[in-house]
């Protein structure tokens, strides 16, 4: 607030533009006591429509004098919306970066062309985003710990699942990989900032931004880890059934679970 006080004391007109994600907007209210009209003039940037996404693809290409087929544009959009209704712009950037480097390698001369066949040759979006994920993990000082954290966001079927900080911590303990809560929070926030994880929801749960990321992480989960994940999810489902219908575990269910109980760190209510 010191810099704000200095600016207000200056005998000049000052305009400041703040750009932030919507989930952080509530934190700004703490400054309204000093600057009552802070949020008076604000603009919400909506998710991009398909037409705007097309402009985001063709605009830079035109500026850089890169040719691009209409079919190539449609294929790019189809790849990124196959598993969702909206396009994550970070992943659009990743795909276009891969496309540019592939075109530069395969095409001679300065007149690059983004063709439909070139886009198709990139493979599935799961491969593209999987490579992006591995590149991001390698940039951490503790890549193995980061991967262990990411494993807690994958179900036994290889799809994404939501997790709280407590659940992530318990998952790590089950793998005999205890993590300091502060360090764990730092890893999670870094994963949020590079768009691997979504911001936590109103229930404090985080999740992967794309199912394609879950597929690549699942490939790195060992057989022993998969067994623990399966048992954990079995217990979670059984507890939900108990709350809904009062149904209890059968004797054979308890026998199955008991083999793994000493390795699992579960919520107290379980």
Q: What is the pLDDT along the chain (270 residues), one digit of tens a residue?
A: 577 777 777 777 888 888 777 767 777 777 878 778 877 888 877 777 788 889 999 999 999 999 999 999 999 998 888 655 678 788 888 899 999 989 998 887 778 999 999 999 998 888 888 889 999 999 999 999 999 999 999 988 888 989 999 889 888 877 777 778 888 999 999 999 988 999 888 889 999 988 889 989 999 888 878 777 777 777 777 777 777 777 777 877 777 777 766 666 666 665
What is the pLDDT, as a whole number, of residue 56?
Answer: 92
Q: Are 103 and 113 in contact (CB under 8 A)?
A: yes
What is the pLDDT, as a whole number, of residue 20?
Answer: 78
What is the pLDDT, as a whole number, of residue 121?
Answer: 92
Q: Are 88 and 195 in contact (CB under 8 A)?
A: yes
What is the pLDDT, as a whole number, of residue 265?
Answer: 62
- Diameter over CA atoms, the chain: 79
Spell out where the chain has E strands: 67-68, 113-114
What is the pLDDT, as a whole number, of residue 88?
Answer: 78
Architecture of domain 133-263: Orthogonal Bundle (1.10)
Question: Other C-beta atoms within 10 Å of 229: how many?
Answer: 21
The H or E element spanning position 38 is: none
- Vertex 130: Cα angle to 220 and 93 (nearest 5): 160
Phi and psi torsions of 123, nearest 5°:
90, -170
What is the pLDDT, as a whole number, of residue 263?
Answer: 65
């Amino acid at each position: 607030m010191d810099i704000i006080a200095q600016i207000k004391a200056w005998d000049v007109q000052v305009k400041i533009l703040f750009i932030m994600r919507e989930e952080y907007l509530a934190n700004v209210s703490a400054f309204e006591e000093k600057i009552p009209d802070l949020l008076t003039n604000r603009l919400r940037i909506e998710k991009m429509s398909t037409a705007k996404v097309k402009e985001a693809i063709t605009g830079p290409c035109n500026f850089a004098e890169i040719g691009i087929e209409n079919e190539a544009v449609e294929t790019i959009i189809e790849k990124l919306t196959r598993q969702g209704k909206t396009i994550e712009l970070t992943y659009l950037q990743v795909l276009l970066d891969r496309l540019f480097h592939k075109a530069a390698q395969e095409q001679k001369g300065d007149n690059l062309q983004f063709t439909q066949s070139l886009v198709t040759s990139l493979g599935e979006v799961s491969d593209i985003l999987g490579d992006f994920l591995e590149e991001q993990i390698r940039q951490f000082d503790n890549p193995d710990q980061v991967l262990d954290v990411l494993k807690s966001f994958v179900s036994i079927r290889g799809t994404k699942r939501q997790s709280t900080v407590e659940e992530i911590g318990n998952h790590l303990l089950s793998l005999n990989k205890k993590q300091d809560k502060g360090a764990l929070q730092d890893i999670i926030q870094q994963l949020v900032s590079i768009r691997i994880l979504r911001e936590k929801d109103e229930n404090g749960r985080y999740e992967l931004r794309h199912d394609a990321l879950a597929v690549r992480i699942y490939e790195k989960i060992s057989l022993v880890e998969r067994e623990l994940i399966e048992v954990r999810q079995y217990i979670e489902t059984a507890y939900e059934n108990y709350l809904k219908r009062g149904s209890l575990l059968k004797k054979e269910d308890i026998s199955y679970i008991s083999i793994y109980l000493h390795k699992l760190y579960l919520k107290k209510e379980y």
